[in-house]
Amino acid sequence: MAEMIRVMYEGGLVEISLNRPDELNSINRQMIAELHEALHEAADKEALLTELRERVRGIAGGNVGPELMDSIRTQAERFGAELVTDDVVSVDLTGETKIVRTHDAEYAARAVIIATGSHYRKLGVPGEERLSGHGVSWCATCDGFFFRDKTVVIVGGGDTAAEEALYLSRLASKVYLVFRGKELRAVKMLQDRLMGESRIKVIWNSSITEIKGNGKVVTAVSLENAETGETKELSTDGVFIFIGYSPNNQLIPPAVLMNEQGYVLTDEKCETSVPGIFAAGDLRQKFANQIVVAAADGCIAALGAAQYVEMQKAGVRSLR
């Protein structure tokens, strides 16, 4: 029976067969695709939604997200990866043999790489869910075109919020950046550009308490000042929310160590506190979350998992 490494995603899993030595040499290339397979199948993932991937090394001038996903998927298949499109419903990763269950099948493997990524945080205010897709968005490059010459509100104070505000200022007639604090967290370069753009106005010390609409589109937001308690209504055609991400850790076993925010802790091989379980991509605690970093995680995790499987086959126990 061929030895397999199974890479699990929120939307499915990918298998790497280790029964041929040449496949070990191609794992690093294949893992780039594995980290993005979920993006190809799950349309709410940031890399698929973003139009230009400026931070992917080797792509001059950027690349359209779906095209990047397709090309990486094709490359993975060329190296012999079997891509299984199915939902992972449960896992049992406690024993030497790891079990991954989907709606249609059950898979057993010596090692599992979990790369379920992260998701956009939401405000949790009335109107947000109801008007999602009707003026409420988490992707300016996806939906900004619909707000040309209109008014939009952006929520957030970090690099992403600043970048997206600058992007939308090239399309919208007016951009309001609502931030709950007194000082933005974005890097100084972005803040300088932000303050120098006449179409952007920052509303300090304020939070959105409700997103209002007429049943079809967004019409206004309710704001509350954190210092004075004053409330007011601000008319707008759209609301873009950039307040960070949360890890998709629902399938992570309790024995796997995570930080306070729920990101998985790993060693330099991307192996978790449980031998044979590896984590890669935005699910793993790291300094920066970018596609190029996730791809590197995938390469490292795949090599680490391959080494772990070979050690298990040779009867060598993990030192962890």
According to DSSP, residue 282 is labeled G
Of 123, 146, 100, 105, residue with least CA distance to 6: 100
143 is catalytic: yes
104, 142, 159, 192: which one is catalytic? 142
- Exposure class string for 152-169: b at 16+ Cβ within 10 A, else e: bbbbbbbbbbbbbbbbbb
139 is catalytic: yes
Check the CA dihedral 163-37-277-271 and report its sign: negative
- For residue 136, the SS3 value is strand
44, 139, 149, 192: which one is catalytic? 139
Per DSSP (E only), the strands in the chain are 4-9, 12-17, 82-85, 88-92, 98-102, 106-109, 111-114, 118-120, 136-137, 151-155, 174-178, 200-203, 206-213, 218-225, 231-235, 238-241, 245-247, 277-279
44, 143, 267, 299: which one is catalytic? 143
200-203 and 174-178 strand pairing: parallel
267 is catalytic: no
Per DSSP (E only), the strands in 179-310 are 200-203, 206-213, 218-225, 231-235, 238-241, 245-247, 277-279
Which residues, in sequence order, are CB contacts of 192 under 8 Å at separation 6+?
none
Of 222, 238, 218, residue with least CA distance to 230: 222
CB atoms under 10 Å from CB of 221, counted, come to 26
So which residues are the catalytic ones? 139, 142-143
